[in-house]
Amino acid sequence: MNDLISAVILGFVQGVTELLPVSSSGHLIIVRDVLGISLVDSLLFDVVLHLATALAIIVYFWSDIVEMFKNPKEKMVMWIAIILGTIPAVIFGLLFNDSIRNTNVVVISLILGSILFFVAEYFAKEDKILSVKSGVGIGFFQALALIPGVSRSGATISGGLLFGMKREEAAKFSFMLGIPVILGAGFLEVIKSFDILAGGSLDLPLIVGAVVSFVTAFFVIKYLLEYLRNHTLVVFGWYRIALAILVLILL
pLDDT for 214 equals 96
pLDDT for 112 equals 95
- Which of 235, 24, 26, 17 has the alpha carbon at shortest distance from 110? 26
pLDDT for 68 equals 95
Q: Distances in Å between the alpha carbon of 135 and those of 41, 211, 216? A: 37, 31, 27
Parent domain of 122: 3-250
Instruction: Output the CA angle 98-35-108, nearest 5 degrees.
Output: 45
The model's pTM is 0.89
Please tell me the total count of domains within the chain.
Answer: 1
Bridge partners of residue 165, in order along the sequence: 128
pLDDT for 180 equals 92
pLDDT for 176 equals 95
Largest Cα separation within the chain, whole Å, is 54
Residue spans of the chain under pLDDT 50: none
pLDDT for 197 equals 58
Average pLDDT taken over every residue of the chain: 88
pLDDT for 100 equals 59
pLDDT for 84 equals 97
**Helical packing angle, 204-230 and 167-192, nearest 10°:** 160
CA distance 68 to 191: 29
